[in-house]
Structure 1
Amino acid sequence: MVKKTPIDITSQKIQVCSKAENKEAAFILNYILAHTPAHIYWKDRNGVYLGSNDKQAISLGLKSGNEIIGKTDMELPWGKGNAAVFRENDLEVMATGKMKTAEELAIYDGRDAVVLSQKVPLRNSFGEVIGVLGISVDITDRKKTEQLQKETTEQISRAVDVLSNCLAHELRTPLAIIGINADSMKLELKKLIGSDETEQKNKIETCVDNIKFAIKRSSNTIDMLLMRLRSILGGQINNLKFKPVSIKDCINDAMKEYPFYNNEQEAIVWDDKLNKDFTYIGSDLLTKHILFNLIKNSLRAIKEVDRGKIYITLKHDGNFNYLLFKDTGSGISTQILESLFEQFKGNGQDGSGLGLSFCKRTMKSYGGDITCDSKEGEYTEFTLSFPKV
């Protein structure tokens, strides 16, 4: 009988288990690298890539993380400027031995991107720094949102500033009228006893009319400011309630409702009978406020040079109907004309920039437009085009 000697295979089992565990650990690591939403990469001290996850490589036009091995940032489509910044940050991390967080510009999937990168020293088992380990997250959309929020906040702030100046400018005159006429009424009431009652009553009626005018002008100003503010904060003008409107009705209503002072209305030349009416799809209220803005600006231009008239005419062609609004006042300089319809860039701090921006947006919402031609010192002409119905 042959005596069998037992064989100890414990070490073999340990090796097999160890290999299986290592294989499982490698699988899990690769799985994590493949499914993490971040870009992960590591480089040696010379800036040569030792590896990356597929997300990093594919975003650079490579097929997998293996293809990035052996390359430097200068060989990748970052651009030399960005690559130099990456290298500078890498050197700082290796020199200090500390983590660095920085926003960097990159190119992912052929587009410019902003990434938030965290880089730490890559160490060996002896604790020696042998390179850099980096994790970068694409924050381009977040930066765009932040920029949009910043611009919106600045826009609202500018709107408040301009509207505040406009409010103070526009309401100062009617409030002064109310004050002066209230004092006059008080004086005339004192004179009423023991004097010609007819004369005193006429003076008091005039004071009352002036006060009513001032109230109407203030109300009109408030309506215009609210309309502009809604336009600024509300974005696009809502066209769901647009309907067919007569342009003549808008002009005539604007002439009746605008708070002309003294004989200002005499400057306007508008012949209802000589001009052929047309219908457009839009809002009579919005169009009246366009006319209010144009009248207000033209009266100011006439006052600046102490001369001039305002001419309102209607014209037509194959595709559009037109309202021409021309004044022969001070005119507009070429420099201002270039940005006349841009919000906050109008012809002064009294809200004219906001007003003309509002006019442009309203006409665009009709499917039309408003343009301006002017010669400084001679005239300004606005052309409002309305699509034919």
Structure 2
Amino acid sequence: MNTKNQFKNFLSIIDAIPASIYWKDKSGKTLGCNKYMLEMAGMERKDIIGKTDYELVWKDAAEKLRQADEFVIKNDTIYETEETGLLANGQKHTYLSTKAPLYDEATEEIIGIIGVSVDITDRKKAEQLQKQKDKEVFDQISQAVETLSGSIAHEIRTPLSIIGINIDRLQLEFDKTLTSSDKTEQVNKIKELINNIKFAIKSASNIINMLLVKLRNIFHTNNASDTKLKPYSIKSCINEAIQEYPFYNDEYKAIVWDDAANKDFIYEGNYLLTKHVLFNLIKNALRAIKETERGKIYISLRTDKNSNHLIFRDTASGIPPKMLDSIFQQFSSTSKDGAGLGLAFCKTIMNSYNGDITCNSKTGKYTEFVLSFPATNNT
């Protein structure tokens, strides 16, 4: 095979490679290239020969390209770098370029460079997008940690205070039993104090569970929507939430819920998460009742053609109109002590059921939340 045919075969091989292949002399003039580079430059092979990067469409990047070429020639070494330039189609692309010395076969002297440039534009975009996502996640985690740290400090302080106070009182009652003739009265007081401590421990445990669920929801925003939905009785969930909620003393008397008078319906969701939604609503309502020193919590059910509804109304302080639009935002709060996570959590959970939670309120009169669940075949 003669030299001409060998060169044609060589060109046909490199033309089939999906990367830019080129070789230049020591002054930077193009000696040859493959079809891929010709398409990048928007030129014919005969027109690109003898041209430097300063004369091609990516001339704005020519100085940096030339510096890389000179580094290879001066140091007689292979060099890898990322290069960005404008193409004939008007788009900027980024390439991972590997350049090596080009030797004269007879003298083995360096006569230029040979390079291969692989398009990594899509990869760079993906990396940039990932960096942006990582930053968003980091910012979200930082905000969540800061907010939750305040929430944990506030929420846990109350049950710990209850435990501390009751332990002090318990010590006093034990001291009294040593001198008191009425042992029965002292024993009853001690039992009451022990029950108070048990309540505080249960309350702290419940708070920790709620915070953990909220934390998972913040860090893994798709978890709720990825949860497999199963059919459950809403009345069963309400009854269990009321039974398990750590009411203090006679707080439970504020709940007005008539199991027999309300018709049950089946909803598709997550039983534990639904209970935590109710825990959040009960907790907020009890706080409002305590602050205003009045009010009740009314829970009822109703159904219509397409949806089933749980109505949760408290008759305490109500929510000011200017705050209603933002109460479901993740770091918004209607309470000066709140972390602003509860109602956003409730919204996320209800949306994951293809349902919703809405609120209407009249300041000084009531606050009403309506939890809407899609009707199911089991309803």
Partner residue, 1:224: 210
1:51/1:297 Cα in 2 relative to 1: closer, same or farther (>3 Å)?
Answer: farther
Alignment of 1:178-327 (within 5 A): 178-195=163-180, 196-234=182-220, 235-237=222-224, 238-240=226-228, 242-243=230-231, 245-327=232-314
SS of 2:223's partner is: coil
The one-letter code of the counterpart of 2:215 is L
User: How many angstroms does 1:289 deviate by?
Assistant: 0.9
Identify if the C-alpha distance between structure 1 residues 23 and 40 changes in structure 2 by more than 3 Å, giving closer, same or farther.
Answer: closer
Following the alignment from structure 2 to structure 1, what is the Cα–Cα distance between the partners of residues 327 and 95? 37
Structure 1 counterpart of 2:313, which letter?
Answer: K
Return the match for 2:349 from 350, 359, 362: 362
Q: 1:346 aligned to 2:332?
A: yes
Correspondence for 1:10? none
Indicate conservation of the 8 Å contact 2:98/2:116, yes or no.
yes
Aligned residues of 1:312 and 1:323 also touching (Cα < 8 A): yes
Aligned to 1:148: 133
Deviations 1:100-158 (A, max 9, x none): 96686999999x998456699xxxx9x9x9xx997641222333334334433444444
Counterpart residue number, 1:331: 319
* Maintained 8 Å contact 2:20/2:116: no
Relative to the length of structure 1, the TM-score reads 0.69
CA contact (8 A) 1:93 1:119 kept: no
SS of the residue corresponding to residue 35 of structure 1 reads coil
In structure 2, what is the Cα distance between the partners aligned to 1:287 and 1:350? 24
> What's the counterpart of residue 371 of structure 2?
384
Distance of 1:325 and 1:56 partners within structure 2: 70
Alpha carbons 1:332, 1:380 under 8 Å: kept: no
- The match for 1:137 is 120
Indicate the residue corresponding to 1:176 in structure 2.
Answer: 161
Asked if the contact 2:96–2:118 (Cα under 8 Å) also holds between the matched residues in 1, the reply is yes
Q: Does 1:164 align with 2:149?
A: yes
Task: Please provide the CA RMSD for this pair.
Answer: 5.0
Partner of 2:107: none
CA contact (8 A) 2:61 2:84 kept: no
Give the deviation of 1:276 after TM superposition.
2.5
Provide the rounded CA distance (Å) in 2 between the counterparts of 1:135 and 1:279.
58
**In 2, Cα distance between the equivalents of 1:369 and 1:362?**
8
Q: Does the aligned pair in 2 maintain the 1:93–1:100 contact within 8 Å?
A: no
Partner of 1:77: none
Q: 1:133 to 1:179 in 2, by over 3 A?
A: same
Amino acid of the residue matched to residue 314 of structure 1?
L
Pair 373,199 (structure 1): closer, same or farther in 2 beyond 3 Å: same
Deviation at 1:349, TM superposition (A): 9.5
Matches of 1:371 and 1:65 in 2, distance apart? 66
Unaligned runs of at least 5 residues, structure 2: 24-31, 49-56, 72-78, 105-109
C-alpha distance 233-349 of structure 1, shift in aligned 2 (>3 A): farther
Between the two proteins, the alignment pairs up a number of residues equal to: 350
What TM-score do the two structures reach when normalised by structure 2?
0.70
